[in-house]
Amino acid sequence: MSTTSLPTVLVANRGEIALRVMRTLTRMGIGTVAVHTDADADAPHTLAADTAARVPSYLDAAAVVAAAHETGAGMVHPGYGFLSENAEFARAVADAGLVWIGPPAEAIEEMGDKIRAKETVAAAGVPVLGGFTEDPGEPLTGEELLRRAEETGYPLLLKPSAGGGGKGMRAVHSSETLLADAAAARREARASFGDDTLLVERLVQRPRHIEVQVLADTHGNVLHLGERECSLQRRHQKVVEEAPSPLLTEEQRARMGQAAVAAAKACGYVGAGTVEFIADTGPGGEVSFSFLEMNTRLQVEHPVTEEVVAVDGVRGVDLVELQVRVARGEPLAFGQDQVSMHGHAVECRVYAEDADHGFLPSGGPVLSLAEPRGEGTRVDSGITEGTVVTSDFDPMLAKIITWGPDRAEALHRMDGALGSYLLLGCVTNTAYLRRLLRHPRVVAGDLSTDLIETDPPEAAPGQAPEHVQAAVALDLQLDLEPEGEPPADRFCLPDGWRMGGSAWTPWRLRAPRQDSTVVRVRRSGDEFEVGVDGGEPVPARARRSADGTRLTVTRAGRTRTFARAADPESAHRWVGAGGVAWTLHEEPVAAALREDESAADGTVRSPMPGTVLDVPVETGQEVTAGTTLAVVEAMKMEHAVPSTVDGTVTAVAVAPGAPVPMDAVLVTVTPDPAAGAHEASAAPTPATSEEQR
């Protein structure tokens, strides 16, 4: 079928996946329609489409279908997330006379219910984990639950039957906590999916998460495109994926692929989908695997499959194009025996989060952005300079994908790509990803879904390096320097100059969740002298590029060039180099006069940008260390921010409903001098996460 006869496609999504789908559609000569909310009126995906239509919400199925009719679109591609696995939306699209680029609604329903999915694939001969299920609407009694759990054997994993993405999952290691964990899992499942039915499975202690890409047409052809290793996860969310898995042999790959095809056939699947397995290695090295779930949509990590799969020896497939052709009724143009895997590909997800502080969500304006280029490197991005990253949507900003002739080269290229990715204005996890991929177990391919939690990579430095603090102080000092000729009145410049010569200008700098440092700077002829944190002054030079985006500093005989940006809203100064970004802001100089008791300072700041949901204290109230002073929501997660000291609330700077930037002052507690031994950690605790809703 000629692509010229294909109708316009509405992409019912946003961000990087909407842009990625549109790239393929444009290459195929197909018109594109974007949908957007008010917040995304100028978003990259909105501007990239041929036509854009406003919708109240990306979850408003009726509005999306109406937008398709109003713009003349004949097909709908759901991307992933939002409505992509909503069977009712798929039906609504079809009932409206539109072509749904995805599987039948019946397949979405069957695979979306974990209990039904497990029963369906087990009947087709696909291996499944031992365990038991509850009947919908008929939860097991406490006595029955304990008995069935004892028969299955601990440890166990409690999973909501409906939904996915790790929401509501609970690991149970003994009967002592089973009933409480089951009650919590049911509450979370009911809140998230409207269904509190539980599936209970045997918990694999060091599991590997391996998934198989399947493809099926409307003519009865079903095949697989190899597997992806997705074992590097945090909080049940994938961080790094690769293809093929370093675990499997060719024979094991074939067996897993055949099981995935059987699962797809069992539910009448059509289009591109993913069958996920839990794999385990026995004492003798034998690999066993069991069905986990099926994702009835395009996966976030689909690019690694596209990079390694070859058809008739030609590497590179386009899964979006294949989705479109299948949706139009075309038969698959190749068979299983024509598919092979060439080389190795790795994908890293760039998240707006502080991975070194509990993966807390972050946000802010994209002041500067540099994305990697080079051989074997691909970036699927959803942001540009000027984008404002908020807590309204998923924190994934982009995906970096590298290909190499073997795994070592793919990892090497990824290290270089992460080293050249730099975003200023919003904290990201890129530096963490670079350390993670250098972890000895990751390099060796010894992966498991608990690696990040139980065997984390090397921690980042606790404080911004001295040369970074000096660079930011010099950058601030340059703000005081005259442009061109100095003014007639020398005293108009607040640069520390005095009749007897230059005086020191103290810059009290603070990075989020770090102690402040005083950096002293003064002019000395054509140079500066810089003393960091009471250290000996060192001669230094500093200059900015003509466009102000680069800062070059020569200090202690070494020259470094940083990307630089200033956030006018938050007064944070950003510098970055080698894939690592730092942000510091100036505190009032008078703060430097405080005694060295900063650990006992009761000022509590927001650990992330977000919205204040609650301030359960008031001025004059006595509190103890650990008392919740405020609750901040970001990226659909609530974080309780505790007091770090015993004392009295002396100031409340925010009210419920107020948006706050990262590091904004929330509440001030004046410490009780007699209670210094009762200081607590300032780390926030998740009160209600997205998984718990």
pLDDT digits (tens, 9 = 90+) for 463-480: 899 999 999 999 999 998
CATH 3.30.700.30-classified regions of the chain: 466-481+501-590
Q: What does the pLDDT look like over 522-535, one tens digit per residue?
A: 988 889 999 999 99
- The sign of the torsion formed by the CA atoms of 443, 446, 448, 454 equals negative
Q: Where in the chain is the domain with CATH 3.30.470.20?
A: 208-454
> Hey, what are 261's tokens?
């095809």
- For 292-358, give the secondary structure using H, E and C: EEEECCCCCCHHHHHHHEEECCEECCCHHHHHHHHHCCCCCCCCHHHEEECCEEEEEEEECEECCCC
Q: What pLDDT is stored for residue 318 in this prediction?
A: 98
pLDDT class of 164 with cuts at 50, 70, 90: low
**Domain 466-481+501-590 sits in CATH 3.30.700.30:** yes
Give the dihedral sign, CA 15/20/24/29.
positive
Q: Is the pLDDT of residue 688 over 80?
A: no
Confidence of residue 49 (pLDDT cuts 50, 70, 90): very high
Per-residue confidence (pLDDT) for residue 606, from 0 to 100: 86
Mean pLDDT of 378-402: 94
pLDDT at 484: 41
Q: Give the C-alpha separation, 668 to 662, whole Å.
A: 16
User: How many other C-beta atoms are found inside a 10 Å radius of the C-beta of residue 664?
Assistant: 18
Confidence (pLDDT) at 5 = 62
Span 540-562, average pLDDT: 96
**Range ranked top by mean pLDDT from 284-293, 294-303, 497-506:** 294-303
Instruction: Return residue ranges of the chain for CATH 3.30.1490.20.
Output: 130-202
pLDDT score at 687: 44
| Residue 347, pLDDT score | 98
Tokens 């003014």 label which residue? 487
Residue with the bigger pLDDT between 162 and 38: it is 38
Chain segment 293-312, per-residue pLDDT in tens = 999 999 999 999 999 999 99
Distance CA 323, CA 102 (A): 7
411: phi then psi, degrees, rounded to nearest 5? -65, -40
Report the C-alpha gap between 662 and 352 in whole angstroms.
Answer: 12
The share of the chain scoring above pLDDT 70, in percent, equals 90
Which of 595 and 249 is assigned the larger pLDDT? 249
The pLDDT of 164-191, averaged and rounded, is: 87
Q: Are 669 and 657 in contact (CB under 8 A)?
A: no
Q: What is the mean pLDDT of residues 412-431?
A: 97
Q: pLDDT (tens digit, 9 = 90+) per residue, 619-666?
A: 999 999 889 999 988 766 678 899 988 999 999 999 998 888 878 889
Lowest mean pLDDT among 442-451, 465-474, 484-493: 484-493
Q: Which of 77, 62, 71, 74 is nearest to 11 (CA)?
A: 77
Residue 281, judged by CB atoms within 10 A of its CB (0-12, 13-18, 19+), counts as: middle
In the chain, residues under CATH classification 2.40.50.100 are 597-692
Report the range of poorest mean pLDDT among 130-139, 207-216, 486-495, 564-573.
486-495
The alpha carbon of 642 is separated from its chain's Cα centroid by a whole number of angstroms, namely: 25
Q: Does 259 have pLDDT greater than 90?
A: yes
Second-level CATH architecture of 208-454: 2-Layer Sandwich (3.30)
**What backbone torsions phi and psi does residue 600 show, to the nearest 5 degrees?**
-95, 5
CATH code, residues 597-692: 2.40.50.100
CATH level 2 (architecture), domain 3-101: 3-Layer(aba) Sandwich (3.40)
Average pLDDT over residues 450-468: 92
What's the pLDDT score for residue 662?
Answer: 78
Q: What is the pLDDT of residue 691?
A: 30
What residues does CATH 3.40.50.20 cover in the chain? 3-101
Question: By C-alpha distance, which of 594, 575, 589, 596 is closest to 496?
Answer: 589
Q: Shortest CA distance to 430 belongs to which of 370, 375, 487?
A: 370
Give yes or no for residue 188 having a pLDDT over 90.
no
Fold entry, domain 130-202 = Dna Ligase; domain 1 (3.30.1490)
Per-residue tokens: 599: 């650990």
Instruction: State yes or no: pLDDT of 368 exceeds 80.
Output: yes
Task: Identify whether 616 is preceded by a cis peptide bond (ω within 30 of 0).
Answer: no
Distance CA(574)–CA(567), nearest Å, equals 8
The residues near 37 (Cβ < 8 Å, ≥ 6 apart) are 54, 55, 56, 57, 58
Mean predicted confidence (pLDDT) in 439-448: 97
pLDDT at 648: 93
- pLDDT given at position 591: 45
What is the pLDDT, as a whole number, of residue 594? 38
Residue 493's pLDDT band, with cuts at 50, 70 and 90, is: low
How far the first Cα of the chain sits from its last, in Å, is 45
Residues 394-422 have a mean pLDDT of 97
Binning pLDDT at 50, 70 and 90, where does residue 503 land? confident
CA distance 437 to 412: 9
Query: Nearest-CA neighbor of 465 among 558, 392, 352?
Result: 558
The per-residue pLDDT of the chain, averaged, comes to 89
